[in-house]
Structures are given as C-alpha cells and as structure tokens.
Amino acid sequence: MNLQLAQLAALIAYSGLFIAFGLYISRRVKKADDFLVAGRSLGPGLLAATFLAANIGAGSTVGAAGLGYAYGLGAWWWVGSAGIGSLILANTVGPKIWALAAKNGWRTVGDYLDYRYSRSVRGLIAVLLWAGTLMILAGQLIAISQILEVVAGVPKWQGCIIGGVVVTTYFSAGGLLASAWVNVIQLTVKFAGFLLAVPVGLRAIGGWSALQPTLAASQKLGIEGVLYYVAILVPSFIISPGLIQKLYGGRDQAAVRKGINWNAAGLLMFAFAPAILGAIAHSQYPDLANRELALPTLMTKLLPGWLGLLTLAAVFSAEISACDAILLMLSSSLSIDLYETFLRPAASERDILLAGRIAAVLGALMGVLLAIELPSIIAALQIFYTLMAVALFAPLLVGLYSRRPTARRAMVTIIASVIVTLFTHFMTGGAGIWVLPPSLIGIAAGFVIMITP
C-alpha cells in the first residue's frame, strides 16, 4: 500500500509539472497563430518530439501491449504501421502541404480543403473529424483510468475525469506552443521507462529463452490482421489532421522533413517494446480478464518499484501527450473550420483564441463521457482511424497532386467511401473481402471515384 501511495503521489506531482510548465509557456501565446500552429517556429527537434509524443499514446503503449499479450511480436504492426505512414508523410505530403500552408497562412487541414475544394467539403470533414476525434480522446482517457485503477483502485469514471482535467488545463492555456515543450519532458520519460522496462522484464522471467514458449503459443496475427492494421493506420498517419496541423508549426520544409523522419524512426524502433512487454505479461499472468491491463499489471507486480514508477510515469506521459494532440484537432476544427468559417467570418484573433480554448474544454468533457461508456482502448481507436482514413485519404492526396477533381467529386468521394466501408463491414461481419479489410475497400473506392474521368 505504501508503494501504491508513493506511485499515486508521484503521478500527481508529475501532472502538476505539466500544468505549471504549460501555464508558464502560455504567457508567450498572444494570438491564434501561437495557439494553433506555435507561430510556425518549431525546428526539427521540437517537431520530432511533439510528433512522437502524440503518436506514442494509449494505443501505442497500453493497447499495443494488450495486443502483444495476445499476438506476441505480431503486435509490432500496430505501432510499426504508424511509423511506415510517418515515413511517407515526411517525404511526400508533409513538405508539400507545409509550403502551401506557409504561403496561404493555413492553420488547419480544413483551410486546405476550403482552398482546394469548397466550404462544404471543409464543413463535412470538420463534422466527421469531431465525431471520430472524440473516440480517440476517449481511448486515451480509458488508458489513464486503467493506470489509476491498478495503482490506487480509482474507479474508471474518476480516472477519466482526472486525466481530462490535467490535459485540458495545460493545453487550453498554451495550445500547440505549450504542448510542444511539455512533450519534450513527456517523451524523455517515455523512452527512458520503456527502454529500461524491456531488459529488466526479460531478466525477471529468466531471459529471452524463457519467453519463447509464450511467443510460440501466442495467436498468429496472419496476413489478414497485418493488412487490417496497415489499412487503417498507414493512411491515417499520412493524412491525420492533428499531425498535419503540427507540421504547419515547422519553421521550414527542411525542419518538417527531418522532424517527421526522426519521429518515424522512433516509432519503428519503439514498436517492439510494448509487443515484448505484453508477451512477458502473458508468460506470468496468463489469466487476465482484460488484456489491456497487461502493461499496468506488469509495471506494478513484476518490475522493481523504482522502475515500475518510472514506467507508470512513461505510460501516463503517453496518454496525456496524445490527449493534447487530440485537443489540438478538436479546438482548431471548431474555432477555425466551424466558428470562423461559418458563424463569424469577421472574428478577431482574440475571438478565435477564446473559441479554441472553449472548444478544448468542451471536447475534453465529451471525451470523458465517451470514455466512461466505451469498453476498450483499441475499440475506440479503431473507430477513429477507420473513419479518418476512409473519409479523408483520397480527397486530400489526390487533390494535393491533381487539379482535376472538383468539390462535388470530393463530397461524393467522402460520403461514398464511408458508405462502402460500413456496408462491407456489416455484410461481412467486419472480415472484409478476401484479405482486404472494409477500410481498405472504402479507401480504394474513394480513389476510384476521385481519379475516374
């Protein structure tokens, strides 16, 4: 009990550090550009840090370890697919869309959609984005609640509220500028915790050879499972509105290319850690009722107290930093894509800044309510990634490289892609056709519509 109290006290103090630092940085936030795109001042190091901090969240830690608990090293594909998508973003879409954003003063992906297509396309994506983004926010808050449940027996609903309060406080004060600097602290703790947890965890069970029977007996992900994760994650990490808005904060194209490539390399390496830790947890605790408790259980029962605390802080950092990236999407989507575009075109910088902060608070409140109801992290994240990839992938990419598709074509593509995905999902029970998951079929349908003369 003393150890649990110490761990809880450390997490509270750690949260206080985020809030204090975020409030300190917020003094430099004077206008909407500072809040939404960090004044376009981020170099490659800060850009890589804020990307990695956002990308290593609930799904990449607690969720991926849960997949490792079931699938062993096959769980690499969850985070690994994000790394592959990031490589493509860094060397194709990222620098190109940054140049357009810097030239035209864009702050959101909606600005691009409005410029390339129409306000109607912008509004439709903004509505879909809000629905999907609330799901991923709920997933992060579920993970925070699981950490607090294991450490101190905090009920799920209370844990979700605590997580929501912490991230909302520092993000709503300083936006992307505050998040980028807080993310440096969070990222350092994440990598330190996981890089130490893997070798210490292996040593505690007798080494890699002792893990082999668990890996051999684990379920096989199979080509269908790999394609499923690739289909929903690779496109999502190429066109994620939250990530694209973060890259708008880069100071130049070189910073964007370097920063996102460094982020991709970090993801491809990090992907092994939660998979291995999940398998270690399965070897010692094979009867967990919820596989997503694998990582919290490992940290509190198998690792030494000091390392368990560090790893807890690492996971807590992962969830909080992912939450602030999500709040960035929610606040910018409401303040720019909906409020300024449709309600108050003449809104001042001060009005937009206030709207962004209010949107962050409202988004966090709605995310908490969803988190209390949704059953698991991966369930929440799959809804978001599927919706975003299917709706946005073809219109964004084809529109970026071709002037031929019209606004009407983009609207039809968005609606048809979502309908095709949902139809395929329900008709096949989520299995897809042959080895193609429903989301990949929906994306393919979108491309066909966009490029057909």
Using the predicted structure, report yes or no on whether residue 273 has a pLDDT greater than 90.
yes
pLDDT of residue 183: 77
Angle, to 10 degrees, between the axis of helix 349-373 and the axis of helix 119-152? 50
pLDDT band at 352 (very low <50, low <70, confident <90, very high): confident
More confident residue, 232 or 215: 215
Q: Considering the domain boundaries, does residue 412 fall inside one?
A: no
Worst-scoring range by mean pLDDT, 53-67, 103-117, 210-224?
53-67
pLDDT of residue 12: 75
Tokens of 103: 């030239």
Helix then strand count (H, E) for the chain reads: 20, 0
Using the predicted structure, report yes or no on whether residue 124 has a pLDDT greater than 60.
yes
Q: Considering the domain boundaries, does residue 410 fall inside one?
A: no
For 145-157, write each residue's pLDDT tens digit: 877 777 767 788 7
Which DSSP symbol is given to 26? G
Tokens of 239: 């066109």
Q: Which range marks the domain in which residue 236 is found? A: 2-380
For 434-451, write each residue's pLDDT tens digit: 878 888 999 999 999 999
Share of the chain above pLDDT 70, in %: 93
Q: Considering the domain boundaries, does residue 173 fall inside one?
A: yes
Q: Considering the domain boundaries, does residue 174 fall inside one?
A: yes
Q: What secondary structure does DSSP assign to 35-84, as a single string?
A: HHHGGG-B-HHHHHHHHHHHHSSTIIIIIHHHHHHHHGGGGHHHHHHHHH
DSSP H or E segment with residue 337 = none
Q: Considering the domain boundaries, does residue 102 fall inside one?
A: yes
More confident residue, 246 or 159: 246
pLDDT of residue 237: 93
Neighbours of 307 (CB within 10 A): 18
pLDDT of residue 299: 83
* Residue 2 burial by Cβ neighbours in a 10 Å radius (0-12, 13-18, 19+): exposed
Which DSSP symbol is given to 436? B
More confident residue, 12 or 198: 198
d(CA 291, CA 288): 6
For residue 180, which amino acid is it? Answer: A
Which DSSP symbol is given to 220? P
Give the CATH number of the domain where residue 29 resides: 1.20.1730.10
Q: Considering the domain boundaries, does residue 98 fall inside one?
A: yes
User: How many folded domains does the chain comprise?
Assistant: 1
pLDDT of residue 378: 60
pLDDT, average across residues 136-142: 78
pLDDT of residue 11: 74
Using the predicted structure, report yes or no on whether residue 36 has a pLDDT greater than 80.
no
Q: CB–CB of 402/433 below 8 Å?
A: no
Using the predicted structure, report yes or no on whether residue 58 has a pLDDT greater than 60.
yes
160: nearest Cα among 142, 182, 178, 136: 142
pLDDT band at 380 (very low <50, low <70, confident <90, very high): low
Using the predicted structure, report yes or no on whether residue 253 has a pLDDT greater than 80.
yes
pLDDT of residue 171: 66
Q: What phi and psi, each to the nearest 5 degrees, are found at residue 6?
A: -65, -40
What does each C-alpha distance from 152 to 14, 24, 57, 155, 258 come to in angstroms?
A: 16, 30, 21, 9, 41
pLDDT band at 375 (very low <50, low <70, confident <90, very high): low
pLDDT of residue 174: 63
pLDDT of residue 357: 81
Tokens of 158: 């209370």
pTM of the predicted model over 0.85: no
Q: Considering the domain boundaries, does residue 436 fall inside one?
A: no
Q: Considering the domain boundaries, does residue 430 fall inside one?
A: no
- CA 414 to chain CA centroid, Å, is 22
pLDDT of residue 296: 83
313: nearest Cα among 198, 196, 190, 199: 190
Q: Which residues have CB under 8 Å from 312's CB, separation 6+?
A: 7, 10, 11, 147, 151, 193, 296, 299, 300
pLDDT of residue 142: 80
Q: Which residues have CB under 8 Å from 294's CB, separation 6+?
A: 65, 66, 68, 69, 277, 278, 281, 282, 285, 288
More confident residue, 326 or 419: 419
Place of tokens 């509270």: 12
Tokens of 361: 């608070």
pLDDT of residue 248: 94
pLDDT of residue 3: 62
User: pLDDT averaged over the chain?
Assistant: 85
More confident residue, 3 or 349: 349
